[in-house]
């Protein structure tokens, strides 16, 4: 397949179609509107349905219905819209239904702005809705990865019967890069539990109500067991120049590319810096973070927020070394120079 030049949003949309997704329900919001715009034309071409809902609340519930009915289904939104989906996402997780949710993050809180930000990390990995549940959260950092991980997202969702979120920001969503779509067909999973009409089989029920505490606790335990398995099997992380690194910069998504440039500049100055880039934000790749920091004397997280992933890094490293945070907020994007300045400051602290 030849490479095509595409923006990240459209690459995710096209990848969803190639993953066998035929249903999209959503509500317009910047900076993700290229996704619904693309799919409104593309899905009908392949016999699918694009439907613009009256709100994100309605959109996620259409997703809930379609997922329960056995379809590969996608929704996409940006920060405020994701907040509105929160109740529905909790239902989808409780009913153990597969679906993919794209959050192209923007500046917050409130209406914020439409500039790129990473302020929804905590929401995605631990606060997306009520009750004990987790999403699988993927954080690509290039247009190619946005395409690849969209396909992976549908496969993981079906495999674990769990909602999967792709967490990116407006920078990645709107950035043009060459992308190549794989030829191999996506993995499919049987869905004998789906509501398709009870013909020649016992009836199927999609439900999240369990009046008896013991009964609900059984569901909770089952979910926890599943999450444990996902933690064992699905952690993904990219470590770069970490083998001898004394200073680890941890960053995800768009910010990891800026951090990578800073790490390379630091190396040119003779500072032993390395980059640790979690790709799954949940499950958080603790083992890989520890491995990256084996020789490290300090760690720095670079995020486009007030310091959210930094707590997961601290937990992974269990306070063995100091973990600093450098962040920009409000849609401001850090420069490699800003991150390099932080690396130099830490270098002075650890090596005098």
Partner 1 sequence: MDKVIASRTKGLTDVPFHYCPGCAHGIVHRLVAEVLEELEIMEKTIGVAPVGCSVFAYNYFNMDMQQAPHGRAPAVATGIKRVHPHSVVFTYQGDGDLAAIGTAEIVHAAARGENITVIFINNTTYGMTGGQSAPTTLLGQKTKTTPLGRDKEVNGYPIRVAEMLSTLEGAAYIARTAVFDPPHVNKTKKAITKAFNTQLKGLGFSMVEVLANCPTNWNMTPLDSLEWLKENMVPYYPLGEFKVSEEVDRNAS
Residue ranges binding partner 1 (CB under 8 A): 23, 25, 49, 51, 53-55, 57-59, 61-71, 73, 87-88, 91, 195-199, 203-209
Beta-carbon contacts of residue 33 (< 8 Å; ≥ 6 apart): 9
CA–CA separation, 231 and 204 (whole Å): 29
Which CB sits closer to partner 1, 82 or 179? 82
What the block records as the tokens of 144 is 């190619």
Element housing 169 (H / E): strand 163-169
Which CB sits closer to partner 1, 27 or 149? 27
Which CB sits closer to partner 1, 186 or 307? 186
Which CB sits closer to partner 1, 55 or 294? 55
Peptide bond into 49 cis (omega under 30): no
**What's the closest the beta carbon of residue 97 comes to partner 1, in angstroms?**
10
User: What CA–CA distances, in Å, run from 341 to 22, 149, 244, 259, 269?
Assistant: 47, 32, 20, 11, 12
CA–CA separation, 41 and 33 (whole Å): 13
Beta-carbon contacts of residue 313 (< 8 Å; ≥ 6 apart): 250, 289, 299, 301, 323
The candidate with the shortest Cα–Cα distance to 270, out of 347, 349, 350, 352, is 347
**What's the closest the beta carbon of residue 73 comes to partner 1, in angstroms?**
7
CA–CA separation, 322 and 42 (whole Å): 49
**What's the closest the beta carbon of residue 35 comes to partner 1, in angstroms?**
18
Beta-carbon contacts of residue 248 (< 8 Å; ≥ 6 apart): 242, 273, 274, 275, 276, 292, 293, 296, 298, 299, 300
Which CB sits closer to partner 1, 196 or 335? 196
Which CB sits closer to partner 1, 176 or 205? 205
**What's the closest the beta carbon of residue 81 comes to partner 1, in angstroms?**
15
Which CB sits closer to partner 1, 64 or 240? 64
CA–CA separation, 147 and 18 (whole Å): 10
Contact 68, 195 (CB under 8 A): yes
Contact 279, 322 (CB under 8 A): no
Which CB sits closer to partner 1, 199 or 318? 199
Count of alpha carbons within 13 angstroms of residue 72, beta-carbon side: 25
Which CB sits closer to partner 1, 25 or 326? 25
CA–CA separation, 126 and 136 (whole Å): 11
Secondary structure class of 114 (helix, strand, coil)? coil
CA–CA separation, 204 and 196 (whole Å): 8
**What's the closest the beta carbon of residue 88 comes to partner 1, in angstroms?**
6
**What's the closest the beta carbon of residue 79 comes to partner 1, in angstroms?**
21
């Amino acid at each position: 397949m030849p490479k095509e030049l595409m923006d990240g949003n459209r690459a995710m949309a096209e990848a969803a179609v190639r993953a066998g997704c035929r249903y999209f329900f959503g509500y317009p919001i910047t900076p993700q509107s290229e996704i619904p715009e693309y799919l409104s034309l593309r899905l009908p071409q392949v016999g699918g349905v694009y439907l613009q809902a009256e709100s994100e609340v309605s959109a996620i519930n259409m997703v809930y219905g379609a997922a329960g009915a056995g379809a590969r289904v996608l929704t996409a939104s940006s920060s405020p819209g994701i907040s509105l989906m929160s109740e529905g996402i909790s239902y989808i997780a409780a009913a153990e239904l597969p679906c993919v949710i794209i959050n192209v993050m923007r500046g917050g809180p409130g209406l914020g702005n439409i500039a790129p930000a990473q302020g929804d990390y905590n929401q995605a990995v631990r606060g997306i809705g009520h009750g004990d549940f987790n999403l699988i959260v993927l954080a690509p950092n290039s247009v190619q990865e946005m395409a690849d991980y969209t396909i992976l997202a549908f496969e993981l969702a079906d495999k674990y019967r769990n909602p999967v979120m792709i967490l990116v920001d407006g920078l990645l969503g709107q950035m043009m890069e060459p992308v190549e779509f794989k030829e191999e067909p996506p993995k499919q999973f049987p869905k004998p539990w789906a509501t398709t009409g009870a013909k020649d089989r016992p009836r199927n029920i999609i439900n999240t109500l369990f009046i008896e505490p013991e009964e609900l606790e059984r569901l909770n335990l089952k979910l926890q067991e599943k999450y444990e398995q996902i933690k064992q099997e699905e952690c993904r992380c990219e470590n770069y120049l970490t083998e001898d690194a004394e200073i680890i910069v941890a960053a995800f998504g768009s910010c990891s590319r800026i951090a990578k440039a800073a790490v390379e500049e630091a190396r040119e100055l003779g500072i032993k810096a390395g980059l640790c880039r979690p790709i799954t934000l949940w499950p958080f790749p603790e083992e890989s973070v520890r491995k990256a920091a084996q020789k490290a004397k300090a760690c720095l997280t670079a995020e486009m927020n007030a310091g959210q992933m930094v707590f997961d890094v601290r937990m992974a490293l269990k306070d063995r070394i100091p973990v600093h945070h450098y962040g920009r907020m409000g849609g401001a994007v850090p420069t490699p120079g800003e991150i390099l300045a932080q690396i130099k400051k830490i270098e002075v602290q650890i090596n005098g």
